[in-house]
Each structure stands twice: as structure tokens, then as C-alpha cells.
Amino acid sequence: MNSKVESEWDPPKGGFMSLHGDGLASRIRRRLPDSWQAGVALVALLLALPILTVFGHLFVPAGDVWGHLVDTVLADYVGNSLVLMAGVGLGTLLLGVGSAWLTSLCDFPGRRVFEWALLLPLAVPAYIIAYTYTGLLDFTGPVQTTLRETFGWSYGDYWFPEIRSLGGAVAMLSLVLYPYVYLMARAAFLEQSVAVLEVSRTLGAGPWRSFFRVALPLARPAIATGVSLALMETLADYGTVEYFGVSTFTTGIFRTWFGLGDATAAAQLAAMLLGFVFVLILLEHWSRRRARFHQATQRYQMLPRYRLQGWRRWAAVAGCAFPLLLGFVVPAGQLSAWAVRTAGRTVDSDFFELTLNSMGLAAGAALVTLLLALFMAYGKRLCRGPIVNTAVRVAGMGYAIPGTVIAIGVMLPLARVDRALDGWSVEVFGISTGLLLSGTLFALLFAYAVRFLAVSLQAVEGGLGRIRPSMDDAARSLGLRPTQVLRRVHMPVMRGTLLTALLLVFVDVLKELPATLVLRPFNFNTLAVRTFELASDERLADASSAALTIVLAGIVPVILLSRSIGRSRAGQKHAA
Amino acid sequence: MKNRWVVAGAALLIGVSGQAWSAEEVNLYSARKENLIKPLLERFTEESGIEVNLVTGKADALLKRLEAEGRHSPADLLLTTDAGRLHRAKEAGVLQPMQSDALEQVIPDTYRDPEGYWYGLSVRARPILYVKDKVDPQELSTYEDLADPRWKNRVCIRSSGNIYNQSLVASMIASRGQEATQQWADAFVKNFARKPAGGDRDQIAAAAAGMCDIAVANTYYLGVMLHSDDPAQREAAEKVAVFWPNQEGRGTHVNVSGIALTAAAGNRDNAQRLMEFLVSDEAQAWYAEVNHEYPVKADVAWSETLQSWGTFKADDVNMARLGEYNAEALKLMDRAGWR
């Protein structure tokens, strides 16, 4: 679909990859819309407000708590966070890229099912997979109990991996976060010019060589995006590491802020955390450097898949089944087993309302976030420059910040606005308006936008990056204004990308807990809240119905997502 | 086009915030989970005709919300599951004292703020649980004794991030001083059978499965396990028994769940009625029946489960002190390497 529209607009140029520099056209573009630049900077500032608010605490005089942290636990926080990130980075890379390559370019039994099913773990919140695996693999769980009963062992007679450990956390997070890498890598492999891969084959490169020398380097920016999303999510994770007793930055922030009652030291920790994020962003940026990765050829056609034979077929099946089984089938199965036992008691009259609330919030947040992302990404395209670039980066940082921190960062400025409005209203009308924004759905949507903008932004920026700048130039020279170019040229071309952005945020909001918990209005509950309340009371079985509903509600968008990517294959005519 | 959006936005805001303006009601921020408070609130509404609007959440976050909202906060009451957080709320200036004879007569001195800023609603005890066929209760005496080397690799307890452990250590600082408590913690940590992970129930389950001989946990977790519909949980819970430590001295460590009037409270009278309802005989018995917590009120009959664990002497340190020593307790555990 992309290719069709693109070919109408663009004359063939030849060559299959072009490294675009800033030509004359882009120099003209840069001088154009100052209002965009101001707009983007303003929105970025608004979205950065919660984070800046938290960092405002940095300038409050500190006690001796920072010294205490350095002496005792800081090394643990840094070490554990680094190991966690390295582990999850490696895990998501292996699981995500491997399965994406297999399903995009090879043929083996069950490939069509794996294509969409590999995304399913995305629908499982990390804290839920942690709960279920703990239920299964813990010392008192069915697996170890069965082992002990079968072999007559008791505690200390045998070795079994401890699920509640740093390694366990790496495994859990990798299993639910690899789909980000899979998603991005698969989209990149599918969009790669067939010609490139054909050339590599005609030059005698086998599948492995084509993969490592051509496909992988070309897909690198997409893969880097996927991994950086996964790592940001890892940094922000609180539920899993807290449950597993692993001390990381996130758990440290809360311990310091609440337990030690020191907001300054907590903000110092959060600042260090953001330091990590900056390094991530720089790495990702550096990996792209000045290369542009859009297609420059008009030749699209089906690329014959590698038909795997013999043991390779089954190795491919096993390679794809592994993450799917562990990341989805096992936890969903365990949840279902619990739900069957407890549903009669736990699915009450509120349940429908909970589901509706969850879905409504997720849909609203997805839409708002997408609009913001479009605005920012297009603004960045229109006026490249340090201000806009920085603004867009800063606005996307919320993804690595724990939800509770963002929630608190949202509450403080909103309350200030409310107070100002109230004061103004009392003065002018003599009526106190109280809190207009705090404690409403607006506060929640704002928090979601701050937290999840990075997800939409990455997708939209990726989509825009694949559209040649010459298209903008052509459209503009035909008299369209910048907004019209976005609406009439870019948006139709990147329909698949926009859908991806929408669905990713939808699923993310469905799973989101901490911000929802603190910011929601009176008498307003969601599935995630219900799940957490029961699970944190150590009633996993009772929590299963709500948890399973989150997973099920997430499956539909996940399948849609997979279909939209399947269709993006260059030269593919609507068949996945 | 633009006007339509403004109207829609205004309608949304009014629709959402409007509910806080109707007549007989009271607004509650609760750290107690919905299923452990809502049935009581429904009974209250039935009896009084006052609607209760509820937001549940983690105590610290709710407290931050109260702080941020300031004098415009819609919340009338803050309910937490430990005294430490109530103390923090008082320090943060978001509470106001309430004088109520009904509350003061019913709730013992140690379970409420001396100045009336907050009142305890139910008592939660944190004794030693031992595996019946491995430990002779004669061997047990005090929390302090659990630091003795003979308990090496035999103790299960959850992480120091948990408020109940922070309060336990704070109570020890209050009674024995900081230095002695530090020495105790340093030695106690060496006796852990595993790195702290999971919740209180997990510690009980681990002890029952043979990983350790002693667990320190709140009794209501044991109660919930004993009444679980999962046979494995019941079986695990049957394997352990309750030992009440420090009976010769200060008594077993307890904490309270409690409630406080916010400084911004707009429905003061309704809030007071709800507070008084929560210490009525009916409500007090409910905590024991549903969640196996002890009533704060002396003359309320205990449930069978509570009776089966026997009576005990509770630490009579005022709960407010636990809040005062909380940060010190946490630092002390950091130094001891208690995760």
C-alpha cells in the first residue's frame, strides 16, 4: 500500500539506498515555519513539566541522606540496574531479531501463526508474568513440589534457579518486552527493498551472510528503536523488581522518597536514572548518524522465502515457539487455570464497568498521544534544529520514568493551575471553583501522554523517516501548506505506522498501573487496579480474572497490529 | 469547530468533578484495598444515607496527592494500614485534629494520636511463626533472640522496603535505642535462610515447605491462608504456629490501620460519623471475620481464628513513635545489608 502511493508521487531515481544530506530543498524548508518551532517547543515543555517538577526537588537543601545512600545501597542500585538493562537488552535482541528474521524471510511449518502470535506477550503486563511464574516456580510452587515428591528430596538436596532474583527479573522482562524489538525488526525486514536482498543473493551470499551483512545493518535503526523502548520500560519497571526483591533505581527512588522521607535524594536518584536514558538515546542516535534509511527504488516484488529443510525447519519452529510459550502460553494458561476456579466469586457486577473504563481510557490516551506525536515529529521534520530536536527528545523521556514519579509530577503543576484558576474565579465571579483539573480524567490522560509519548513518537518518527523528503518538496511546490502535506500526503502513506502507534499505546495504557492508581477520580476503577489490589494482597488466584481480561483485551489490538505490518511488505498485495 | 471542543471539554470537566458537589457524602482516600473496606462503607451508607466516594491506592502516593491538592483537596478522610504513614501525613500538615468522645472512649491511648490527629481502627500483630515439628516453642523468647547464631539460615522475613518491618525495627529503636538495634540487625540478617523476597504469605509458605524454621509475619496473612480455598495454602498454614515474643518485656510488636480527618475536609460531620461507625461493634467484628485483624475496641468478641492463637501482651509504645523512628529504622537496615 505504501509503495503504491509513494510511486505516484515520486519519479524513479535508481539506486537502492540513498544517504541523503541536507540539500537545497531542506535548507529552504528550515527557514519556513517559526510558529511550528514555537509550538513544538511549547508542547514539549508542557510534557516535560512533570519531569522537571520532580527535578525541582534537586534544588531543595539536602540532608545527609545522599551520603547514606552512597555508603550503603547506591552501588547495589547502579549495579543491579546495569545488569538488568544489559540482560534485558541482550534477551530482547536475541528473541526479537531472531524470530523477526525467521518469520519475515523463511518458510517453515506454522510461520503464519507465529507471525502474529509472537506479538502476544505484549499483552501481558510485566508484574503479572512475574506473579504467575513465581506461583509456578517458587519453592512452594507446583514444579518444585512435584520434583521433591517424585525424587523424595527436601530443601537443600537439589539446585533450582531462584525465580525471585535479578536473573529472574531479566527473564520476565525479556519475555514480555521482546515484542517491541520483534515488531520493529520485522517491519524493517519487510520494508527492506527486495532488490537489496536479491543483489546480496545473486552475489552469492547465503542466508546467514545476507542476514548479517545486509539485512541486519539496514534494520539497525529500527532494532535500536525497539531495544531502546524495551530498556526504557525496564528502567521504569517497579512492580517486577519490587516483587522479586531486586534493588534498582526505581525501588531506590521510592525507598528514599517515602521511607526516608527525602525528596531531594530521591530526585538525585531519578536524575541518575535519566542519565542512563540520555546515554541510551545518544547510542540510538549515534547508531543512525547521518544515514537515511528510506527506500529509493521502485522495484518491488515478492522475495522468495528461504524454504527451510530438515532439522532447520524444526529449529525454526522451536526458536519461534520458545518466546511464545514462555511469554504468553504459560502465564495465560496459569491465569486461566486460576480464573476457572475463582471466576464465580471474582467476576462481579462491577466487572463490565472495569473493562469499559480500561478500554475507554486506553483508547482516549492512544488518540491524544498519537496526535501529540504527529505534531512533534512533523514539527521536527519541518524545522530541523537543535531547539526542536532537544524538545522532542525531552518530551519522549517520560517512558523511562516510573509511573508514580510521573503521577506526582503531574499532580503538583495541575494543582498549581487549579489554585490559580480558583483565585481568578473568586476574584472575578466570587465563586470558588476548587480543583478543576486535579483528580479528573484529564490528569490521567496528561500522565499517560507524558509516560507513553515516546512509544508513539518512535513509531511516527520512524514512519516519517521512511518517506523521502522529496515528497514534501513536491507537495509544497504544488502549493500545499505544511499541515496539508501532513494530512494529505504523509498520513495516508503512513497509515500502518499510525495504527501501530495507536495500538502500542492502547496496550500500554491497558497495562499501566501506578499512575492510574494515584490519579484516578473517585469511584473509578480499572482492570489493572483490580488486578493489583488482589495480587498485592497475595491473592493471585483471585486476581486472575481481571488479569486475564487485560491480556484478552490486549490481544485484539496485537493481532490488528500484526496484520498491518504484514501488509506493509513491499510488493506484497494485501496478503500477509 | 473550535467552540464545539471547548464545550465538550467543559462538559467533561464538569461531569467528572461535578460528583464531588452533591449533598450528603464523604470522600475517602484509602490505602486499604477496595475489597477490604467497601462492604463496610456500604453498610455505613445503608445506615446513614451518606454516600462514600472512594479512591484506593498506595498510602505514600495518596499522601502526595493530598499534599499536592492542598486546601482544595476533595478528600475528607485518609485511611492507611499502618501508623507510620499517618504520622507522616500529620507531619506533612495535611491533617487536622478531631475531638470525639465516642472515639476517645473506645480506642486505647496507644492506638491513637495523642493530639487527636488520627485514630486506630484495627490492630495487626507481627509475631514469630514457627514450624511445629522443627521448633520447640521453649526455644523461642524474643525478637532480640532471633539474632542468636543458633538460628543461622533458619529465618524467613520479607524485605526492609516493607513498612511492617520498618515499624518493627522502629519499635525496637524506641525501646532499646539505636546502637543496640543496629547490633541486633547486623546479626539478625546473618540468620536469613534466603535473600528477602515476596510478601508475608510467601515467608509462611517457605517455612512450611522446609526452607526455614521461623517466619516473621503478620497474623492476618496466616488467617487468610488458613481459610483459603486452595488446599495447598491451608496445608502450609497448618504446619506453623504462632509464638508471641517479648511477653516478659515490652510485648509483641503491633501496628494499627487507622483513619484521619484531612485539613481540607469539607464534610466534617459526615466524616466524623464514618469514623465513629468504623469503631462500632459491627465494624470491629467485621475486621476479624473478614481479614483476621484484631479489633481496637476491648470488649468486641474475637473470631474463632483469633481465639485459636491465644491472647498476648502487645507492645505499648505509642504508634506515633513508630512514625518518628521510621527513617532511622530504614537507614539502620540499609547499613545491616537487609535488602
A448-497 pLDDT, tens digit per residue, is 999 999 889 988 888 888 788 888 888 888 888 888 888 888 888 888 78
Hey, of A412, A522, A523, A525, which one would you mutate to test binding to chain B, going by the most B CBs within 10 A of its CB? A522
B182: contact with A, CB 8 A cutoff: no
A257 interface with B at CB cutoff 8 Å: yes
pLDDT reading at A424 higher than 60 = yes
Q: Of A130, A265, A226, whose CA–CA distance to A458 is shortest? A: A226
B279 shares its domain with B165: no
Mean pLDDT of the region B55-69:
90
Q: What is the pLDDT of residue B20?
A: 44
Of residues B19 and B130, more confidently modeled: B130
Verify whether the Cβ–Cβ distance A522 to B70 is below 8 Å. no
Q: Which residue of B has its CA nearest to A439?
A: B17
pLDDT digits (tens, 9 = 90+) for B269-307: 999 999 999 999 999 999 888 889 999 998 888 889 999
More confident residue, A152 or B217: B217
State residue A319's pLDDT score. Answer: 92
How does residue A1 score in pLDDT terms, banded at 50, 70 and 90?
Answer: very low
- CA–CA separation, B316 vs B319, rounded Å? 8
Using an 8 Å CB-CB cutoff, list chain A residues near B209. 139-140, 145, 155
Contact A517 B335 (CB under 8 A): no
pLDDT exceeds 70 at position A22: no
Determine, for residues B69 and A408 on separate chains, whether the beta-carbon distance falls below 8 Å.
no
Q: Residue B136 domain-assigned?
A: yes
Contact: B166, A441; criterion CB under 8 Å? no
Are residues B28 and B117 both part of a single domain? yes
Looking at the partner chain, which of B60, B69, B331 has a beta carbon nearest the beta carbon of A438? B69
Which pLDDT tens digit goes with each residue over B65-82?
A: 999 898 889 999 999 999
pLDDT(A320) > 70: yes
Instruction: Give domain status of residue B282, yes or no.
Output: yes
Contact status, residue A269 vs residue A194, Cβ threshold 8 Å: no
What share of chain B has pLDDT > 90, as a percent? 71
Q: How confident is the model at residue B169 (pLDDT cuts 50, 70, 90)?
A: very high
A344 vs A326, higher pLDDT? A326
As beta bridge partners, residue B30 has B56, B79
Measure in Å the smallest separation between the Cα of A434 and chain B Cα atoms. Answer: 6
Asked if A349 is an interface residue toward chain B (Cβ–Cβ < 8 A), one would say no
CB contact under 8 A, B166 and A259: yes
| pLDDT value of position A294 | 56
- Of B74, B206, B334, nearest to A139 by CB-CB distance is B206
Q: Strand B128-131 to strand B214-216: parallel, antiparallel, or no bridges (unpaired)?
A: antiparallel
Residue B83 lies in a domain: yes
CA distance linking residue A450 with residue A428, whole number of Å: 33
- Is some CB atom of chain A closer than 8 A to the CB atom of B200? yes
Pick the residue from chain B with its C-alpha nearest to A74.
B334
Q: B74 contacts in A (CB within 8 Å)?
A: 434-435, 439, 522
Set of cell numbers at residue A179: 515484542
Answer whether residue A65 shows pLDDT above 80.
Answer: yes
The pLDDT of residue B53 is: 95
- With CB atoms and an 8 Å threshold, state whether A533 touches B34: yes
CB contacts < 8 A, A to B, total 164
Looking at the structure, tell me whether residues B278 and B237 fall in a common domain. no
Answer yes or no: do A522 and B53 touch at CB < 8 A. yes
Q: What is the CATH number of the domain that holds B172?
A: 3.40.190.10
Specify whether the CB–CB gap between A80 and A168 falls below 8 A.
no
- CA nearest neighbour of A237 among A256, A222, A253: A253
A309 touches chain B (CB under 8 A): no
Report the chain A residue with the minimal C-alpha distance to residue B20: A522
What does each C-alpha distance from A567 to A108, A121, A155 come to in angstroms? 20, 21, 54
By residue range, what is the domain housing residue B64? 24-123+256-302
A436·B211 Cβ contact <8 A:
no
Torsion angle of C-alpha atoms A374, A234, A466, A488, degrees rounded to 10:
-20
On whether both B161 and B208 belong to a single domain, the answer is yes
Amino acid at B168: L
| Cβ–Cβ < 8 Å for A546, A527 | yes
pLDDT of amino acid A566: 67
Distances in whole angstroms, Cα of residue A474 to Cα of each of A469, A471, A477, A479, B143: 9, 5, 5, 9, 79
Say what the pLDDT of residue A16 is. 36
Residue of higher predicted confidence among B301 and A61 = B301
Facing residues of B127 across strands? Answer: none
> What confidence score (pLDDT) does residue A72 get?
85
Residue B315 confidence class, pLDDT cut points 50, 70, 90? very high
Q: What is the ipTM of this complex?
A: 0.82
Query: Quick one: average pLDDT of A270-282?
Result: 79
What pLDDT band is residue A13 in, cutting at 50, 70 and 90? Answer: very low
- Residue B144 and residue B282 share a domain: no
More confident residue, A297 or A155: A155
Rama region for A472: left / alpha / beta (φ>0; ψ in -120 to 50; rest):
alpha
CA separation for the pair B147, B161 (Å, rounded): 20
- For residue B9, being part of any structural domain is answered with no
Q: Tens digits of per-residue pLDDT, A381-413? A: 887 778 888 888 888 888 888 888 888 889 888
B40 and B50 assigned to the same domain? yes
**And the C-alpha cell for A429?**
465571579
Inter-chain residue contact B16 with A341, CB threshold 8 Å: no
Whether the Cβ atoms of residue B133 and residue B171 lie closer than 8 Å to each other:
no
Please give the pLDDT value at position A295.
Answer: 55
B205 plus B329 within the same structural domain? yes
Beta strand ranges found along A27-94 (DSSP E):
none
The reply to whether B229 falls in a domain is yes
- Strands laid side by side in the B128-131 sheet: B155-156, B214-216, B128-131, B240-243
Residues of chain B positioned with their CB less than 8 A from the CB of A412: 68
CB-CB: which of A72, A251, A415 is closest to B69? A415
Overall average pLDDT of the A175-186 stretch? 92
Residues of B in contact with A243 (CB under 8 A): 197-198
Helix (H) or strand (E) holding B173: helix B163-176
Residue B12 forms part of a structural domain: no
Query: Which cell goes with A343?
Result: 471466576
Q: Is residue B16 part of a domain?
A: no
Q: Is B327 on the interface with A (CB under 8 A)?
A: yes
Summarize pLDDT for A196-254 with one digit per residue, the tens. Answer: 777 777 787 777 787 787 778 888 888 888 898 899 899 888 889 988 889 898 888 88
* Cell matching residue A315: 529449529
Q: Is residue B213 part of a domain?
A: yes
Q: Which residues in chain A touch residue B324, judged by CB atoms under 8 angstroms apart?
A: none
State how many domains chain B has.
2
Q: Are residues B200 and B236 in the same domain?
A: yes
What average pLDDT does the segment B100-128 reach? 94
Q: Report chain B's mean pLDDT, rounded to a whole number.
A: 90
The mean predicted confidence, pLDDT, of chain A is 82
Query: Is B192 in the same domain as B273?
Result: no
B19 or B245, higher pLDDT = B245
pLDDT in tens, B89-98: 999 999 999 9
pLDDT for A491 equals 87
Only one residue has cell 491473592, namely A539
Least confident range from A230-234, B182-186, B238-242: namely A230-234
> Residues 95 to 154 of B: which have CB under 8 A from any A CB?
none
Q: Based on the domain organization, do B238 and B276 belong to the same domain? A: no
More confident of the two residues A175 and A65: A175
Q: Are residues B149 and B84 in the same domain?
A: no
Same domain, B129 and B117: no
